[in-house]
Amino acid sequence: MSTRIGFISTRFAGTDGVTLESAKWGEVLEREGHECFWFAGELDRDPAKSFFVSEAHFRHDQNQRINERIFGKVFRRSSVTEMIHALRSLLKVNLYEFIERYNIELIIPENVLAIPLHVPLGVALAEFIAETQIPTIAHHHDFYWERDRFSLNAVGDYLHMAFPPKLAKIEHVVINSAAQEELAHRTGISSTIIPNVFDFDNPPVINQEKSRGFRESIGLSLEDTMILQPTRVVQRKGIEHSIDLVRRLNDPRHKLVISHEAGDEGFEYFEWLKEYAKNQGVDLRFISTMVADPWRRVDTTPGRYSLWDVYPHADFITYPSVYEGFGNAFLEAVFFRKPLLVNRYSIFIRDIEPMGFDLVVMDGFLTSKQVQQVKEILNSPQRREQMVNHNFDIAKRHFSYELLRKRLNALLTNFFGT
């Protein structure tokens, strides 16, 4: 049975994990014969299936004014409550219009009922689900209790109400076992684990012409080694460890490239990294303005590259994150058969490490042993080939589109029958 499905978030654009993973869900669901539509404050999806509401973006002026008054505070003024409800009311009207315009039969909120970057949108959505009883698969990537920045707040009532809401018509999905346990412990809500996935049965489609121009566009010569960190520029991504690695490799041909954007949590860390790399003598290049979501169907922007144009040129991947909900960049590196260094963040230890991947692994700090391992991998094509093929085979068994297809079909069956 074909179902008309509405994805809802603050943005579906760029290369952040929520955007990328929701695109994979949409791809799998459309292969199964369903139709997908998109609601957000920033969109690069098919315009014919998109519903743009600027106020839904977490960076919208109204929402930022609210966030300034509710996080890092112990109480809120009545005027702030009124601001929240005014924006909630506007967004709920738009949610009703979205459902009506596209005859949506099921919705998939993407992280907006888990992380309170946009409290009015989360509250509007919780009320909307309660009022309409629309079948809902709530896809939670990370929760507010996992982030220090939300620990002191003046919206505990809204967090308990909507992040996430405990309603009969919602099937909750988390991306790791720790989140499943903590959600049940804190709220009594049961959930299904669906890890991040890749289509390991089909290699990525690479635009050879655009890919050829990529190295030249960022000023790399054929002799240069590209060490890629494919993450956003936020402090928990541990980019300073990658800078230390390149410094200790002690070869001017090694260039460190960061592919994703800064600004989600301010620009202080971004500015500090530039200064730190300069002081360490490391050639650090930020290229986020050039890199687009690889699942975007059409992108004719001059000088704009897909993430899939970037990966083929990487000689080594660094992923020294302190915390991750799962780890999209980890799977991307394995998918493109690239060797990588990983920090042992908690979800990696619980859900990924036991599977037996062949990696350079650090445990909070970089040692001489790990630097030597990276040197050996960069200098030995045979070692590199063995490593990446082993990792690809493991990931194909555990993180494939087939796993996603089966679990989504099970959730849909719960609502609509077989």
Q: Which position has the higher pLDDT, 62 or 303? A: 62
**Which whole number is the average pLDDT over 71-97?**
97
- Take residue 38 and report the two structure tokens written for it: 């998109």
Q: Please give the average per-residue pLDDT across 114-118, as a whole number.
A: 97
Q: Which of 21, 53, 14, 42 is nearest to 140 (CA)?
A: 21
Local structure of 345: helix, strand or coil = coil
CATH 3.40.50.2000 domain range(s) in the chain: 4-197+401-416, 208-398
pLDDT in tens, 277-291: 999 999 999 887 666
pLDDT confidence of residue 292 = 60
Predicted local distance difference test score (pLDDT) of residue 189: 97
What pLDDT, on a 0 to 100 scale, did the predictor assign at position 298? 47
Tell me the mean pLDDT in the region 309-317. 90
- The residue written with tokens 């459902």 in the block is 99
The answer, yes or no, to whether residue 205 has pLDDT greater than 90, is no
**pLDDT tens digits for range 141-156:** 999 999 889 999 999 9
pLDDT of residue 398: 92
The pLDDT tens digits for 64-78 are: 999 999 999 999 999
**Statement: residue 220 has pLDDT above 90:** no
pLDDT tens per residue across span 364-413: 999 999 999 999 999 999 999 999 999 999 999 999 999 999 999 999 99
Question: Phi/psi zone of residue 417: left (φ > 0), alpha (ψ -120 to 50 degrees), beta?
Answer: left
What phi and psi, each to the nearest 5 degrees, are found at residue 136? -140, 130
Give the tokens for residue 67: 């966030």
pLDDT tens string 338-374: 999 999 998 899 999 999 999 999 999 999 999 999 9
Cβ neighbors of 164 (< 8 A, separation 6 or more) are 113, 114, 138, 140, 143, 170, 172, 183, 187, 189
pLDDT single digits (tens) 9-50? 999 998 788 998 999 999 999 999 999 999 999 999 999 999
The tally of CA atoms less than 13 A away on the side-chain side of residue 382 is 0
Model confidence over 245-269: pLDDT tens digits? 999 999 999 999 998 777 666 688 9
What are 378's two structure tokens?
């960069």
Residue 294 has pLDDT above 90, yes or no: no
* pLDDT at 211 exceeding the cut of 70: no
Pairing of strands 254-258, 35-40: unpaired
* Predicted pLDDT of residue 328: 82
Give the pLDDT mean for 194-217: 80
Residue 160 pLDDT more than 80?
A: yes
Q: What is the CA radius of gyration of the chain?
A: 22
Query: 166 pLDDT band (50/70/90 cuts)?
Result: very high
Rounded percentage of the chain residues whose pLDDT exceeds 70: 94
Q: What's the rounded Cα separation, in Å, for the pair 324 and 346?
A: 8
Residue 396's identity, in one-letter code, is K
208-398 domain in CATH 2.70.70.10?
no
Q: Which pLDDT score is estimated for 206?
A: 73
What value, to the nearest 5°, has the Cα angle with vertex 153 and ends 56 and 118?
Answer: 5
Cis peptide before 164 (omega within 30 of 0): yes
- CATH architecture designation of domain 4-197+401-416: 3-Layer(aba) Sandwich (3.40)
How much is the pLDDT for 87?
Answer: 98
Mean pLDDT score of the chain, rounded to an integer?
92
Average pLDDT over residues 226-251: 93
Strands 170-174 and 192-193: parallel
pLDDT digits (tens, 9 = 90+) for 323-343: 887 888 899 999 999 999 999
Q: List the structure tokens of 247.
A: 């410094």
pLDDT at 29: 98
* H-only helix segments in 135-267: 156-162, 177-187, 208-217, 239-249
